[in-house]
Amino acid sequence: MAEEAPGTRFLLFPQSPFRMAEPELELVEISAPPGTLGPGPSGPRMYVVNPSGKTIPFGAIVPGPSGPGMYLPPWHGQVHPPPEPDEDGHFVHILPSDPGFEAAHLFASAHFTLDVWEEYFGHPIPWHFARDYDRLELSLLPSLDNAHIGWGFLETGGTSEHGGEYRAYSLNFDVVAHEVGHAIIYSVVGMPVSEDVSGEYYGFHESAADMVALIASLHFGSVVEELLESTSGNLYTFNQLNRFAELAGNAQIRMAANTRTLQEFARGWSSEHALSEPLTGAMFDILVDIFHERLLVHDLITPEMEDLSDHLEESPYYSDVMQELFNARYALDPDGFRISLLEARDFLGAYLAAAWSMLEAETLTYAAVGEALLAVDRETTGGAFEPIIAGNFRMRGIGLFEAGPRLAEADEDSHAHSVRTRVPGEGMP
């Protein structure tokens, strides 16, 4: 078996560096071979620009000689000095104290996420904006209190909400991976062409982007190790894995491990982020259940222990009873638990890639996502995980209820009418 070709090395924060006093870096390799990346960093799929004097975010509607139009890449103004590769073509010498670290971290986070998911898809994922751009421009704009992907760009700013300290979104792997997730879905599932697309399309978008980030984060050895050491494999405890876009030790945007059901949105919805939670919750439960199945296959837990976990899942006694059992079992074979979690990760990653490839924007519903997953499972295993997939979707009311109409106008956080979905030439000069 041929050895995998070496990639270009970077240092990344696997989790938000703002959640601990002394955050740890992890050495990663992205797929670009050493010597193929230039200053910026820049490569065949994407490049970073750190503008000097830029005040307007990409995607904004600005005046032009022919009337209002979209402000889009490339940036033509002055730029801050870009980080450069070392003599071997790597970027591991770029440390957090280096002015170019933010650019290197943004590039590596986006490229690493794309690498992970192209492996699951089994082929390169074209950019949804390939009509106009060959490469994604990664832009740093500190004045932007957001991170968003759009037509040819992924732009990150930061927040000063936490004690006045500026916290750059480019240093938060989850945030960058989430935005890359949106680009993957736009490419694979498509962008809506009509105004009356189902609200579940937008909820699905948020859920899928969260799953892209969650699965990608499980490709960091330190994340997996800390997760298992802190939970002993009892993933329903409050832990790092089910926090998204974490900005501080006790702050997160939303939880993957949640109890929301689609029935709660049958009369309507206001936020696609909230609407995404039943689907994300079902996906998280599927991941945990497949993990338990792999633990069973490797004789790391007993059938009785798995049955007890299922029966106590909604019980207030779950943590007290199950944590002691997981602690004892994990102590016997931590490496076996790690292997089982990685197997569950890869099962779900491959299933999602195949299922998403079967969906279309205009007809997308949560029920269709479930049906696609079941079809993938039948093709892959002959239906081994059918009870897990069908059961968790049913528990969330998916297939039994549908999301009602939007109850409020889309706000600035919505993807429905934002820079993320604006396409030049459609409805504007």
Residue pLDDT, tens place only, 38-83: 999 999 999 999 999 999 999 998 887 877 889 999 999 999 999 9
Is residue 356 within 8 Å of 185, Cβ to Cβ?
Answer: yes
State the pLDDT confidence band at 214, using cuts at 50, 70 and 90.
very high
Supply φ then ψ for residue 354, to 5 degrees.
-70, -40
**pLDDT greater than 90 at residue 313:** no
pLDDT at 1: 42
Amino acid 14: pLDDT: 93
pLDDT, average across residues 273-298: 95
262-283 as b/e: b if 16+ CB within 10 A? bebbeeebbbbbbbbbbbbbbb
pLDDT, mean of residues 247-261 = 62
pLDDT above 60: residue 294: yes
Q: What is the pLDDT of residue 349?
A: 98
pLDDT digits (tens, 9 = 90+) for 379-409: 999 999 999 999 999 999 999 999 999 997 7
pLDDT (average), residues 214-233: 93
Query: How many percent of the chain have pLDDT more than 70?
Result: 91
Identity (one letter) of the amino acid at 303? P
> Mean pLDDT over all residues of the chain?
90
pLDDT at residue 253 in the model: 38
Output the pLDDT for position 218. 95
Q: How confident is the model at residue 255 (pLDDT cuts 50, 70, 90)?
A: low
Which of the four pLDDT bands, split at 50, 70 and 90, describes residue 429? very low
Least confident of 67-76, 236-245, 306-315, 354-363: 236-245
pLDDT, position 134: 96
Q: What is the mean pLDDT of residues 1-14?
A: 83
Residue 133 predicted with pLDDT over 90: yes
pLDDT number for residue 148: 94
Query: Which tens digit of pLDDT belongs to each residue from 322-352?
Result: 899 999 999 999 999 999 999 999 999 999 9
In terms of average pLDDT, the best of 11-20, 103-112, 190-199, 299-308 is 103-112
Query: How many residues comprise the chain?
Result: 429
Rounded to a whole number of angstroms, the distance between the first and last alpha carbons of the chain is 54
Question: What is the average per-residue pLDDT within 194-223?
Answer: 92
Is the per-residue pLDDT at 108 higher than 90?
yes
- Given a cut of 50, whether residue 26 has pLDDT beyond it is yes
Spell out where 13-122 has E strands.
Answer: 26-30, 46-49, 61-62, 69-70
E strands, 22-84, are 26-30, 46-49, 61-62, 69-70
Position 64 scores a pLDDT of 79
* Ordered structural domains, the chain, with CATH: 9-188 (3.10.170.10), 199-395 (no CATH)
Residue 46 vs residue 309, higher pLDDT: 46
What pLDDT is attached to residue 291?
Answer: 96
Question: Beta strands 46-49 and 136-140: pairing type?
Answer: parallel
Q: What is the mean pLDDT of residues 265-277?
A: 94
Q: For strand 46-49 and strand 69-70, is the pairing parallel, antiparallel, or unpaired?
A: unpaired
Euclidean distance between CA atoms 183 and 205, whole angstroms? 10
